[in-house]
């Protein structure tokens, strides 16, 4: 069925008024996200929804005209999931920014999808609580976007990823139906877990228009940070695995490999580290923070590393800034293909060794950082131009295959988006992929929801 663009836009304008935009600058911006990639053509229009009614009207009209819809938040995704191409309608929830409630008894927040992660966390901390998911883009990423991708972050090793923080979601389906899924109670097992299904669905099943999320008490006691140097990335992986095996549960456990560390130091104007130096960031908190930090430091030294503990907030922030500057530092060198594999923690040293081998084999530099506490690595491929060179794709495919061989996954937190959909069958197998497609069809029988992503 062909799309009557004029009729669709006319009906949208009547329904949502000035929330509909065809501004060329805005349309061009919606062609890309933070993955470094762009769609071949600009979308048809953007609806800047400010209410659930806007979202419902938009999807009803889109369904009537079979107009493909790409849900979008702040556009900070790293897998191309919010990139919109020609004849696509972008449905942005970035202007739905109200925090409706922070409940200190039930320790939940009720928010709209455009609330920025850092803003929710700051509001919760004023009440003695905090929001645990901590993506590197937390200062810009929205709650709706992080739910759509199932985002993780630095602090997830101890406090959990987005999936574990979401108790309930309000979702508008492709036909405009509003569904309230989940609950605001800590426990609740009525029916199938449709909330868990929505988290990480990347806009292929519906549009999140509200969320009830779990908050946690701010930890008591000290926060201790260790900035350690190890002689190799494999040694750092060994130290990280030993820390987790010891029973210490750090709040953050991050590895920055030598190439990534040099580029970050250049980007931040810091002195250049030694050629093979690998950085290991450890942060502990709570009443056991000092004892846990001492135990972690012992494992670092056993792996041949050096490091010192600090309880100074300014020092901790400087160390966290080094890690959070990774993506910006890579972008300063060119276009970035960002990968997101995860392996069992015990296989972390093996995965780092494999990345080094793949780098040599294909002649491609692969600066890598890792959320070492949960086995989630981000190998990056930096190149010049708009087209990924063949040797970069070959190296990336080799990284994917190695992760699967080690019992891992293609994506730990960024999602499948556009960039990884070609590899779904390798991990899931045809029967499960077919099942997932049938589930999508149950939510979106016309196939208009983010049709270029995932499936």
The string of pLDDT tens digits covering residues 187-208 is 899 999 999 999 999 999 999 9
Q: Which residue, of 92, 126, 156, is where some domain finishes? A: 92
CATH code for the domain in which residue 330 is found: 3.40.462.40
Query: 140 and 111 share a domain?
Result: yes
Taking only the tens place, the pLDDT of each residue in 8-37 is 999 999 999 999 999 999 999 999 998 878
> Is 205 part of any domain?
yes
pLDDT of residue 2: 61
Query: 83 and 193 share a domain?
Result: no
Taking only the tens place, the pLDDT of each residue in 386-435 is 788 999 999 999 999 999 999 999 999 999 998 888 888 999 999 999 99
> Is 410 part of any domain?
no
Total domain count, the chain: 3
Query: 42 and 180 share a domain?
Result: no
> Is 433 part of any domain?
no
CATH code for the domain in which residue 69 is found: 3.30.43.10
Query: 73 and 187 share a domain?
Result: no
> Is 437 part of any domain?
no
> Is 75 part of any domain?
yes
> Is 389 part of any domain?
yes
- Rounded Cα distance between 67 and 171, Å, is 19
The sign of the dihedral angle between the CA atoms of 344, 348, 353, 358 is positive
- Rounded Cα distance between 29 and 40, Å, is 12
Query: 195 and 176 share a domain?
Result: yes
Closest CA to 355 of 312, 390, 405, 306: 405
Query: 179 and 256 share a domain?
Result: no
Closest CA to 181 of 294, 234, 191, 424: 191
Query: 248 and 213 share a domain?
Result: no
> Is 421 part of any domain?
no
How much is the mean pLDDT over the chain? 94
Residues 6 or more apart in contact with residue 17 via CB below 8 angstroms: none
Q: Which residue, of 92, 120, 153, is where some domain finishes? A: 92
pLDDT of residue 443: 97
Taking only the tens place, the pLDDT of each residue in 212-264 is 999 999 999 889 999 999 999 999 999 999 999 999 999 999 999 999 999 99
- Rounded Cα distance between 59 and 117, Å, is 26
pLDDT reading at 176 higher than 60: yes
Taking only the tens place, the pLDDT of each residue in 46-86 is 999 999 999 999 999 999 999 999 999 999 998 899 999 99
Taking only the tens place, the pLDDT of each residue in 113-165 is 999 999 999 999 999 999 999 898 889 999 999 999 999 988 889 999 999 99
Q: Are 80 and 105 in contact (CB under 8 A)?
A: no
pLDDT of residue 305: 96
Query: 131 and 67 share a domain?
Result: no
Taking only the tens place, the pLDDT of each residue in 345-369 is 999 999 999 999 999 999 999 999 9
Query: 195 and 55 share a domain?
Result: no
Closest CA to 341 of 419, 441, 453: 419
> Is 317 part of any domain?
yes
CATH code for the domain in which residue 213 is found: 3.30.465.10
Helix axes 313-324, 258-268, angle to 10 degrees: 110
The sign of the dihedral angle between the CA atoms of 146, 151, 152, 153 is negative
Q: Are 207 and 172 in contact (CB under 8 A)?
A: yes
The beta strand positions in 50-154, using DSSP E, are 69-72, 89-92, 99-103, 108-111, 129-130
Query: 261 and 394 share a domain?
Result: yes
pLDDT reading at 4 higher than 90: no
Q: Which residue, of 31, 64, 92, is where some domain finishes? A: 92
The fraction of the chain above a pLDDT of 70, given in percent, is 99
Taking each continuous run of H as one helix and of E as one strand, the counts in the chain are 17, 18
Domain that holds residue 142: 99-217
- Rounded Cα distance between 197 and 373, Å, is 25
Closest CA to 111 of 91, 130, 94, 97: 97
Query: 123 and 269 share a domain?
Result: no
Query: 105 and 200 share a domain?
Result: yes
């Amino acid at each position: 069925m062909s799309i009557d663009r004029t009729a669709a836009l006319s009906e949208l304008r009547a329904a949502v008024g000035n929330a509909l935009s065809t501004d060329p600058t805005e349309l061009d911006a919606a062609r890309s996200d933070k993955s470094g990639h762009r769609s071949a053509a600009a979308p048809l229009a953007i609806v800047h929804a400010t209410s659930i009614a806007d979202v419902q009207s938009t999807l009803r009209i889109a369904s009537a005209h079979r107009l493909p819809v790409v849900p979008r938040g702040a556009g900070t995704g790293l897998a191309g999931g919010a990139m919109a191409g020609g004849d696509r309608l972008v449905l942005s929830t970035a202007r739905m920014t109200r925090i409706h409630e922070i409940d200190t008894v039930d320790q939940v927040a009720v928010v709209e999808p455009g609330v920025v992660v850092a803003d929710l966390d700051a509001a919760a901390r004023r009440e003695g609580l905090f929001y645990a998911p901590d993506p590197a883009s937390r200062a810009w990423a929205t709650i709706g976007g992080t739910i759509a991708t199932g985002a993780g972050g630095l602090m997830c090793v101890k406090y959990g990823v987005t999936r574990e923080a979401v108790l309930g979601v309000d979702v508008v389906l492709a036909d405009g139906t509003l569904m309230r899924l989940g609950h605001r109670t800590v426990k609740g097992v009525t029916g199938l877990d449709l909330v868990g299904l929505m988290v990480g669905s990347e806009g292929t099943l519906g549009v999140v228009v509200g969320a009830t999320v779990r908050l946690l008490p701010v930890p008591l006691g000290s926060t201790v940070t260790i900035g350690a140097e190890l002689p190799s990335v494999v040694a750092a992986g060994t130290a990280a695995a030993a820390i987790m095996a010891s029973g210490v549960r750090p709040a953050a456990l991050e590895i920055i490999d030598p190439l990534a560390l040099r580029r970050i130091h250049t980007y931040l104007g810091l002195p250049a580290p030694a050629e093979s130096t690998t950085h290991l960031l450890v942060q502990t908190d709570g009443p056991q923070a000092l004892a846990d930090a001492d135990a972690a430091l012992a494992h670092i030294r056993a792996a041949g590393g050096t490091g010192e503990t600090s309880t100074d907030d300014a020092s901790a922030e400087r160390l966290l800034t080094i890690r959070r500057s990774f993506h910006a530092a890579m972008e300063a060198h060119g276009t970035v293909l960002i990968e997101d594999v995860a392996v069992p923690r015990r296989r972390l040293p093996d995965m780092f060794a494999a990345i080094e081998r793949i780098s040599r084999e294909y002649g491609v530099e692969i600066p890598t950082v890792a959320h070492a506490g949960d086995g989630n690595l981000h190998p990056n491929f930096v190149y010049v131009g708009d087209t990924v060179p063949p040797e970069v794709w070959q190296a990336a495919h080799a990284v994917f295959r190695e992760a699967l061989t080690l019992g891992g996954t293609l994506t730990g937190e960024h999602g499948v988006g556009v960039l990884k959909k070609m590899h779904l069958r390798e991990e899931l197998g045809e029967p499960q992929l077919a099942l997932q497609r049938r589930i999508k069809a149950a939510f979106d029988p016309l196939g208009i929801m983010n049709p270029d992503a995932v499936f």
